[in-house]
Structure 1
Amino acid sequence: MFKKFFILITTFLFLAASVFSTNVALAHQQKAAETTVLFNKRSGQLEVSHRFYIHDTEHAVQSLFDKNADIINSNQTQQQFADYVAQQFLIQTLTETDLPLTNVGYEVEGKFFWVYQETVIPSKLAGIKMFNGALRDLWPTQINMVNIEGKGNVRTLYFSNNKDWLITEF
């Protein structure tokens, strides 16, 4: 009887510790962001969607702009962060011709902050060269993953450490 009780208590404590440690881990900065570059043949637009963890952006805006900056409730802070992301994300053709992106908007959605951009898809594009420095100037361990979709198989690039400009060919 005592042995069964001991096993039950041990199991309960193990499960409780697991749940607690998971919640604590989720509260820490992720230092990771995801961007999707979509070649939308229907609209003729190259659509860019940046997704950041809201917890990361909360810390970032207080370092980048003002210690009282509020990414969740302040439209001004949201616009500042969207402008920052736009300055940190660049696309060129393989011949190093800039593809200027138009800022489309931004939004807070659950635990994410989204920034949207677009440009017209150039004709006869053999590949693209990209720079994604968002938050990497603040945190050297920041990893920015970029998925390129709509040109055959999905390609994924990882911007981390000293990787500044990366290339994908079609």
Structure 2
Amino acid sequence: MPKGLFVLFTAISAVVASLLATNTAFAHQQKAAETTVLFNKRSGHLEIMHRFYLHDTEHAVQDLFNDKHADILDSEKTQQQFADYVSQQFYAKTLTDQTITLNTVGFEVDGKFFWVYQDAPLPKTEKGLKLYNGALRDLWPTQINMVNVEGQGPVKTLYFQDNKDWLAVYF
């Protein structure tokens, strides 16, 4: 084999191996979720959008619901169960500890994500909120739930990980 062809073949092989390794890495669980809490003054609602990696939810539902046939992709029952679970793992309070009652609005599979939506009338909070996000942290201690709070000045971000339960955000 000519030296130039060998070098080209080696370079192409390295690129292909790199791409295969990248795809394998993306197939693993992320154990991370993102939530947006939006103060929507136009609608008069506090809108909460939870985004989970679909791959994580596929693993989680079988353990959470003790059902080897749980199917987040094709079973509306499993999707509803997971949405209910998420709703029972996310709480909001005012800084004076008044509970903000959240309603589950819906859920959907969108690409590689599973979304759960909640809302509540805008709280009459003047300076901040207390939030709790335990979704999947009971199943995986390494789970990290990031929460972005928007619509009250600059975006504020909270990270629920390790032993962090209730966190406060100030405006």
Shorter-chain TM-score above 0.5 = yes
- Superposition pairs for residues 19-34 of structure 1, below 5 Å? 19-34=19-34
Task: Indicate the residue corresponding to 2:131 in structure 1.
Answer: 130
Deviation at 1:124, TM superposition (A): 4.0
CA distance in structure 1 between the partners assigned to 2:36 and 2:127 by the alignment: 18
Task: Indicate the residue corresponding to 1:102 in structure 2.
Answer: 103
Q: TM-score, normalised by structure 2?
A: 0.96
CA distance in structure 2 between the partners assigned to 1:140 and 1:5 by the alignment: 50
Deviation at 1:6, TM superposition (A): 2.6
- Provide structure 1 residue ranges, at least 5 long, that are not aligned to the other structure: none
- Provide structure 2 residue ranges, at least 5 long, that are not aligned to the other structure: none
CA distance in structure 2 between the partners assigned to 1:15 and 1:151 by the alignment: 46
Give CA deviations for 1:5-28 in whole Å, capped at 9, x if unaligned.
232122111101111001101111
Give the 3-state SS of the residue equivalent to 2:88 in structure 1. Answer: helix
Task: Indicate the residue corresponding to 1:62 in structure 2.
Answer: 62
CA distance in structure 1 between the partners assigned to 2:155 and 2:167 by the alignment: 15
CA distance in structure 2 between the partners assigned to 1:60 and 1:166 by the alignment: 24
Task: Indicate the residue corresponding to 2:52 in structure 1.
Answer: 52
Give CA deviations for 1:100-127 in whole Å, capped at 9, x if unaligned.
1011000111111000000011224310
CA distance in structure 1 between the partners assigned to 2:8 and 2:149 by the alignment: 49
Letter of the structure 2 residue corresponding to residue 29 of structure 1: Q
CA distance in structure 2 between the partners assigned to 1:145 and 1:58 by the alignment: 20
Count of residues paired in the alignment? 170
Task: Indicate the residue corresponding to 2:9 in structure 1.
Answer: 9
CA distance in structure 1 between the partners assigned to 2:48 and 2:42 by the alignment: 15
* Deviant stretches of 4+, over 3 Å: none
Computed over aligned residues only, the root mean square deviation of the Cα atoms, in angstroms, reads: 1.1
Equivalent pairs: percent with the same residue? 65
Give CA deviations for 1:45-102 in whole Å, capped at 9, x if unaligned.
0000000011100110000111110111111111100000000000001111110101
Cα 1:81/1:124, change in 2 over 3 Å: closer
Give the 3-state SS of the residue equivalent to 1:119 in structure 2. Answer: strand
Task: Indicate the residue corresponding to 1:89 in structure 2.
Answer: 90
Q: TM-score, normalised by structure 1?
A: 0.97
Give the 3-state SS of the residue equivalent to 1:25 in structure 2. Answer: helix
**Contact 2:94-2:125 within 8 A present in 1 as well:** no
Give the 3-state SS of the residue equivalent to 1:114 in structure 2. Answer: strand
- Superposition pairs for residues 33-44 of structure 1, below 5 Å? 33-44=33-44
